[in-house]
């Protein structure tokens, strides 16, 4: 479990309490311009509880959005509220926020325990309380066995988990993670994903940015999609996919005899095109992706086809954005 500072006397800003009648995050008409460049355009968004994926290609505005939430940038227009409070007028809500930026230099000469304990002290904890809280959050992210190892000797995944632990030491209600999986090996990614899912289950509001669709799919179904600074989709990822079911999709199948499979699939009402990049490869074009994908296994098995691969080459964020943005990606 993540430590609760109220049990150790380490509660920061006791006099300030979140306004429960407002969303944890509320942005209304937010625009951020850099001269003629529109980093964000008229974003209105309210979020509370659970994990939300912030999706977008590089340059979509994800990091700008996070910097606005963290008070690192002031919006050109619009308003930001954290727990119902304008943080530019009252910074107290930041005591309930944990933030992991995409790029950050760390004190490589310190151990993880020293690094996180130092930040815990900044929240008003005693030396004993700070060490206790640091050990708890390090255990939560799976680093308790290397807590006394210098950060400079950590792998990329271990460094990312240390940053997450540092963001949790104040027992935040809102956790913002900017590209936390970038550069991590598969094992580290799985570990970090498990940590993020657990935070969501605990009722925390967690924002996770990524430009890789399947990363976010493994963490949450609730997404916000940004494209060129604009909000192009918000809600359940599966519901958004269902809205796109009538858009052309490609299904790629690799097997022993692509033409034999084509004969068995060509009359299906969901198929409108077939092509053969090689003798073992079949590309199927369909306007009814969900229907065809659900029936393909039965067609393959009932006709005795031997298949090596079935995948969807256009089932990625770039393709999804292309459909949502009218082909302008």
Pairwise CA distance, residues 266 & 272, whole Å = 8
> Would you say 137 and 170 are in contact if contact means Cβ atoms under 8 Å apart?
no
**Pair (15, 117) in one structural domain:** yes
**Pair (172, 230) in one structural domain:** yes
**Pair (86, 193) in one structural domain:** yes
Q: Which region, left, alpha or beta, applies to residue 90 given φ > 0 means left and ψ of -120 to 50 means alpha?
A: beta
Task: Please state the rounded mean pLDDT for residues 308-320.
Answer: 74
Nearest to 196 by CA among 152, 164, 234: 164
Cα separations in angstroms, 30 against 26, 58, 91, 93, 95: 10, 20, 19, 19, 23
Task: Please state the rounded mean pLDDT for residues 174-185.
Answer: 89
Task: Please state the rounded mean pLDDT for residues 18-31.
Answer: 84
What is the percent of the chain where pLDDT is above 70?
Answer: 87
Last-in-domain residue among 211, 241, 271: 241
pLDDT tens-digit series, residues 31-86: 999 888 889 999 999 999 999 999 988 888 999 999 999 999 999 999 999 999 99
Q: Which pLDDT score, from 0 to 100, does residue 245 have?
A: 60
**Pair (178, 270) in one structural domain:** no
Last-in-domain residue among 212, 241, 270: 241
Domain annotation covers residue 62:
yes
Q: Which pLDDT score, from 0 to 100, does residue 103 have?
A: 76
Q: Which pLDDT score, from 0 to 100, does residue 118 have?
A: 93
Domain annotation covers residue 181:
yes
Q: Which pLDDT score, from 0 to 100, does residue 58 have?
A: 83
Q: How confident is the model at residue 2 (pLDDT cuts 50, 70, 90)?
A: very low
- pTM exceeding 0.85: no
Domain annotation covers residue 329:
no
**Pair (276, 205) in one structural domain:** no
Domain interval for residue 303? 245-324
Domain annotation covers residue 316:
yes
pLDDT tens-digit series, residues 111-128: 999 999 999 998 889 999
Residue 321 pLDDT greater than 80, yes or no: no
**Pair (216, 256) in one structural domain:** no
Q: Which pLDDT score, from 0 to 100, does residue 325 have?
A: 64
Q: How many domains does the chain have?
A: 2
**Pair (232, 266) in one structural domain:** no
Cα separations in angstroms, 113 against 119, 147, 149: 10, 5, 8
Residue 269 belongs to a domain with what CATH number? 3.30.70
Higher pLDDT, 228 or 5: 228
Q: How confident is the model at residue 18 (pLDDT cuts 50, 70, 90)?
A: low
Look at residue 182 and give its three-state secondary structure: coil
Q: Which two structure tokens, joined as six digits, stand for 215? A: 């990363």
Please state, rounded to an integer, the average pLDDT across all residues of the chain.
Answer: 85
**Pair (258, 195) in one structural domain:** no
**Pair (225, 207) in one structural domain:** yes
Q: Which pLDDT score, from 0 to 100, does residue 14 have?
A: 43
**Pair (184, 86) in one structural domain:** yes
pLDDT tens-digit series, residues 235-270: 887 777 666 665 677 888 998 888 888 998 888 888
Domain annotation covers residue 137:
yes
Look at residue 215 and give its three-state secondary structure: helix
Q: Which pLDDT score, from 0 to 100, does residue 137 have?
A: 95
Residue 143 belongs to a domain with what CATH number? 3.40.50.300
**Pair (290, 168) in one structural domain:** no
Residue 5 pLDDT greater than 60, yes or no: no
Highest mean pLDDT among 99-103, 134-138, 242-246: 134-138
Q: How confident is the model at residue 326 (pLDDT cuts 50, 70, 90)?
A: low
Q: Which pLDDT score, from 0 to 100, does residue 315 have?
A: 66
Last-in-domain residue among 202, 220, 241: 241
Phi and psi at residue 262, to the nearest 5°: -60, -40
Q: Compute the radius of gyration of the chain from its Cα atoms.
A: 24
């Amino acid at each position: 479990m993540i430590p609760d500072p109220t049990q150790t006397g380490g509660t920061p800003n006791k006099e300030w309490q979140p306004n429960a009648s407002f969303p944890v995050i509320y942005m209304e008409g937010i625009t951020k311009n850099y001269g003629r460049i529109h980093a964000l355009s008229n974003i209105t968004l309210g979020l509370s509880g659970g994990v939300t994926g912030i999706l977008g290609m590089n340059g979509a505005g994800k990091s700008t959005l996070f910097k606005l939430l963290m008070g690192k940038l002031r919006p050109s227009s619009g308003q930001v509220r954290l727990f119902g409070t304008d943080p530019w007028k009252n910074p107290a809500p930041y005591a309930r926020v944990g933030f992991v930026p995409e790029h950050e230099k760390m004190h490589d000469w310190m151990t993880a325990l020293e690094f996180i304990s130092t930040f815990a002290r900044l929240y008003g904890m005693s030396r004993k309380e700070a060490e206790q809280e640091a050990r708890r959050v390090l255990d939560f992210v799976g680093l308790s066995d290397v807590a006394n190892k210098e950060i400079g000797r950590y792998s990329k995944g271990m460094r990312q988990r240390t940053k997450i632990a540092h963001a949790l030491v104040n027992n935040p209600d809102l956790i913002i993670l900017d590209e936390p999986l970038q550069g991590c090996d598969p094992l580290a990614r799985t570990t970090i994903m498990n940590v993020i899912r657990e935070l969501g289950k605990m009722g925390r509001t967690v924002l996770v940015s990524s430009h890789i669709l399947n990363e976010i799919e493994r963490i949450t179904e609730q997404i916000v999609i940004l494209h060129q600074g604009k909000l192009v989709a918000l809600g359940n990822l599966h519901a958004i996919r269902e809205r796109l079911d009538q858009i052309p999709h490609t299904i790629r199948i690799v097997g022993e005899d692509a033409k034999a499979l084509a004969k068995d699939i060509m009359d299906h009402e969901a198929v409108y095109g077939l092509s053969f990049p090689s003798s073992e490869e079949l590309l199927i074009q369909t306007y009814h992706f969900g229907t065809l994908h659900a029936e393909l296994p039965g067609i393959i098995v009932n006709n005795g086809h031997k298949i090596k691969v079935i995948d969807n080459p256009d089932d990625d964020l770039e393709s999804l954005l292309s459909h949502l943005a009218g082909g302008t990606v």
